[in-house]
Structures are given as C-alpha cells and as structure tokens.
C-alpha cells in the first residue's frame, strides 16, 4: 500500500519515472539460479518471528496510546501493523522476542487469536521444498529408458488409478467425471511414454474413436488401441497382457478377454425419464449395464444387488466391486458379504475405486 501511495504522490508531483528493468544475475553456484521466485538467505531475515494477535481492550486506547504502542513495536521489530477498533486492536509485528510485544499488549487488555511463526524455520523448509521440486522436475525431464511396451489408460478416481498403476499402467489420463478426454490428451500421453509399442485403453466407448485418431496421427511408435468400454474391461485387458507375445498376438488375446467381462455401474437420476421400459424419477438410483438399464430403485444396496443378479449366469467365476468416493467402506463391505453369500461359487472382491458419480462399479467374469 505504501508503494502505491508513493507512486501516486510522485506522479502527482510530475516526477520522471525510469521504466528500465534491471535484472540482477544470481551468483555462480547460487541455489535456484534462474528461478522466478526470489530466495533470501536466512541471514537476510533480521527479525525471526512473525507475531500476530488481537487485543480485547479493557482500557482506553486513544490515538496517542496507539502511536506509543507502534513506537514500542518499532523499537523491537519491523513490518508493524496496528489496526484499532472500539473494542479490539489487531496487531502484526516481526520481532526476535514475541514476549516483549505480548507483555506490552497485555497492558491494554486480554489477548486472543495469538499466532507466532518462526520465519527462519519456514524459510529453511521452503528452500528444502524448492530443492526437492527442482530435483523432481529434473528427474521428470530426464529421458526414461525405452521400453518394449507401455500402457496408457483413461481413468477416474484415486483408487482405480492406483489399481491400474499396480497392474503396470505407465500413464493415467484423468478423464474427469465424464471420462471424455480429447484426441489431443491421448496424443500428449503417447508422447510422454518412451516405448516401442503403446497400448491405449480408452475404458469408455465414447473415447475409442479419439484413441484411434491418435493412433493414426502417431508415426514414431506402434499404437495398439484395445477397445475397452469400461474400467473393468481395462483392468482385465492389462491382466491378460503377456510380454512374450507379439503386439498383434496381445491385441487379439486382450480383445478376446474383455468380451468375457460384464460391467454394471450404479448412479442416480438427475431428472424424470423412461429408459428401456423403466420409469425413472429424479433422485432414483440406477444400475446401468453394458446394454442399458438393469435396475432402478430408491435404495443403493437393493439396486446394486438387482443389477448384479441381472449380470450373472452360471459361467461367472469372479465378481469385482469397486466402491466410489461417496460410498462408505462399511456399506460396501456389507454389500460384498451379501453378494458372496448369494453366489458362493464365485470369488467376490471389494476394492476402493474412489470414482465420482458412480456409487459402485461392478464387473462379473
């Protein structure tokens, strides 16, 4: 504020302004040379404690007392801010002895909202974090060793992202709530993986076209698009990858494997409608399968169980349940137990997906 007022005053006086910008070069070997952020040495911090508090006035605090209080604070520190009201005084000061400021303030009333920060310690932590950031950026910029094959998958939800990473996916395209990244997003992902063959898992029927467009626009790598329409199919595709097979053989094997997966997703209706002969009201829960609506109701667990019943046949051996960010773990565990009880011949797995919008994503294979 003082700089603004100073500039306004000098402009009022008609003072000539020198607009030349002088860049000060960092000394050779100085940390973070070239960084846009100014880094001070700890020795440049004259007063080490940023001290803030509010005085709840119990005595008169007139202009003279305010000036005396400010003068005292200036004698023990800098960066003084004192804002007085009828009942309270807000105080900010940088000092090497916060106790002196506090003792002086106690003469005018009780204190509240006290906050003391060690600026030298904060400075040290900031320097360490900046060093770590530069190291990470340098590591990220370094070219990775070229691999024979790499996987790119469109995903949503921290749990599902982690599952895909654990299975060997090299790059996750965050699809957002609607999971609809663009061709450019896929191209950027392809550029960031260093591999001879890149397998792309769209995991959404709406993205398969974009993935294929990215494939045709890439010349320096072999791109294989596995037409996965759901997250569950994407997980199955990765599991069925065999490093010893050729890209063509893996494409055929993974494409065949995803055909055995049935997927259901539980979400809510945003408006009244009729779909697949199901009358749906706003706020109802819906179980959506590969080919349409499988279940509708007003209870999440009931809809999910009805949806799973519609997905099952006698050949199914594995049921995987991924619960979303709005679903409680205990509710998901209770659902898993009931499904396992009803289908004792199947392995029933429960994992945290963390996906938005969908309370559950369920696969049966």
Same domain, yes or no: 128 and 161: no
Question: 11 lies in a domain?
Answer: no
pLDDT value of position 43: 57
The mean per-residue pLDDT over the stretch 300-314 comes to: 94
pLDDT value at 330 more than 50: yes
Same domain, yes or no: 154 and 171: yes
Residue with tokens 């005595």: 59
Same domain, yes or no: 122 and 49: yes
Rounded distance between C-alpha atoms, residue 145 and residue 193, angstroms: 10
Question: 30 lies in a domain?
Answer: no
CA 25 to chain centre: 36
Q: Write the CATH number for 55.
A: 3.30.70
pLDDT value at 119 more than 90: no
Q: In whole numbers, what is the pLDDT of the chain averaged over residues?
A: 87
Same domain, yes or no: 181 and 136: no
The mean per-residue pLDDT over the stretch 261-284 comes to: 88
The mean per-residue pLDDT over the stretch 40-47 comes to: 67
Q: Write the CATH number for 173.
A: 3.40.50.510
Q: Between 257 and 41, where is the model more confident?
A: 257
Q: Which of 18-22, 135-139, 144-148, 336-340 has the lowest mean pLDDT?
A: 18-22
The mean per-residue pLDDT over the stretch 37-54 comes to: 73
Looking at the structure of the chain, the number of domains it has is 3
Same domain, yes or no: 290 and 251: no
pLDDT value of position 179: 63
Q: Between 146 and 81, where is the model more confident?
A: 81
Q: Between 63 and 34, where is the model more confident?
A: 63
pLDDT value of position 21: 55
pLDDT value at 29 more than 90: no
Rounded distance between C-alpha atoms, residue 238 and residue 3, angstroms: 60
Same domain, yes or no: 284 and 344: yes
Same domain, yes or no: 297 and 334: yes
C-alpha triplet 97, 98, 104: angle, nearest 5°? 105
CA distances from 256 to 26, 151, 238 (A): 60, 18, 12
Say whether pTM exceeds 0.75: no
Same domain, yes or no: 237 and 312: no
pLDDT value of position 19: 63
Query: Residue 66 phi/psi, 5° resolution?
Result: -65, -45
Question: 332 lies in a domain?
Answer: yes
pLDDT value at 110 more than 60: yes
Question: 330 lies in a domain?
Answer: yes
Same domain, yes or no: 244 and 330: no
Rounded distance between C-alpha atoms, residue 251 and residue 260, angstroms: 15
Question: 49 lies in a domain?
Answer: yes
The mean per-residue pLDDT over the stretch 104-110 comes to: 92
Question: 299 lies in a domain?
Answer: yes
Q: Write the CATH number for 346.
A: 3.30.1180
pLDDT value of position 7: 85
pLDDT value of position 14: 78
Question: 220 lies in a domain?
Answer: yes
**pLDDT-based confidence at residue 153 (cuts at 50, 70, 90):** very high
CA distances from 72 to 75, 87, 183 (A): 5, 21, 64
The mean per-residue pLDDT over the stretch 121-143 comes to: 76
The mean per-residue pLDDT over the stretch 116-141 comes to: 79
Q: Between 107 and 133, where is the model more confident?
A: 107
Same domain, yes or no: 252 and 204: yes
Same domain, yes or no: 114 and 185: no
pLDDT value of position 31: 43
Residue with tokens 């997905």: 311
First to last CA, the chain: 66
pLDDT tens-digit profile of 193-244?
A: 999 999 999 999 989 999 999 999 999 999 999 999 999 999 999 999 999 9
User: 105, 122, 142: which is the final residue of a domain?
Assistant: 142
Residue 249 lies in domain: 147-258
Structure-token pair, residue 131: 């060093």
User: 258, 274, 294: which is the final residue of a domain?
Assistant: 258
pLDDT value of position 223: 96
pLDDT value at 59 more than 60: yes
Question: 27 lies in a domain?
Answer: no
pLDDT tens-digit profile of 159-201?
A: 999 999 999 999 999 876 556 788 999 999 999 999 999 999 9
User: 242, 258, 274: which is the final residue of a domain?
Assistant: 258
pLDDT value at 350 more than 50: yes
Same domain, yes or no: 45 and 133: yes
pLDDT value of position 91: 93
């Amino acid at each position: 504020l003082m700089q603004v007022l100073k500039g306004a005053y000098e402009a009022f006086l008609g003072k000539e302004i020198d607009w030349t910008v002088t860049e000060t070069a960092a000394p050779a070997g100085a940390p973070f040379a070239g960084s846009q952020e100014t880094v001070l040495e700890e020795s440049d911090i004259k007063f080490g404690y940023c001290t803030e508090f509010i005085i709840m006035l119990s005595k008169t605090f007139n202009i003279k007392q305010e000036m005396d209080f400010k003068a005292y604070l200036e004698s023990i520190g800098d960066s003084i801010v004192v804002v007085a009201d009828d009942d309270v005084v807000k105080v900010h000061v940088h000092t090497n002895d916060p106790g002196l400021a506090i003792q002086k303030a106690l003469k005018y009333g009780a204190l509240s909202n006290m906050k003391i920060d060690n600026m030298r310690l904060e400075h040290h932590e900031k320097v360490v974090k900046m060093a770590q950031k530069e190291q990470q950026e340098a590591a990220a910029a370094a070219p990775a060793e070229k691999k024979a094959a790499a996987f790119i998958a469109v995903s949503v939800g921290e749990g599902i992202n982690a599952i895909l990473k654990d299975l060997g996916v090299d790059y996750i395209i965050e699809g957002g709530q609607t999971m609809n990244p663009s061709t450019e997003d896929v191209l950027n992902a392809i550029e960031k993986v260093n591999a001879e063959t890149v397998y792309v898992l769209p995991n959404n029927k709406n993205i398969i076209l974009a993935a294929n467009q990215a494939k045709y626009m890439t010349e320096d790598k072999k791109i294989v698009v596995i037409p996965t329409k759901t997250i569950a199919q994407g997980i199955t595709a990765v599991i069925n990858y065999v490093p010893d097979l050729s890209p063509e053989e893996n494409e055929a094997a993974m494409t065949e494997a995803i055909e055995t997966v049935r997927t259901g997703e539980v979400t809510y209706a945003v408006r009244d409608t009729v779909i697949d002969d199901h009358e749906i009201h706003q706020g109802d829960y819906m179980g959506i399968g590969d080919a349409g609506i499988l279940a509708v109701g007003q209870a999440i667990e009931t809809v999910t169980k009805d949806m799973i019943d519609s997905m099952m046949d006698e050949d199914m051996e594995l049921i995987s349940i991924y619960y979303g960010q709005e679903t409680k773990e205990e509710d998901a565990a209770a659902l898993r137990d009931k499904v396992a009880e009803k289908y004792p011949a199947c392995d029933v797995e429960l994992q945290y997906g963390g996906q938005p919008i969908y309370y559950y994503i369920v696969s049966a294979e």
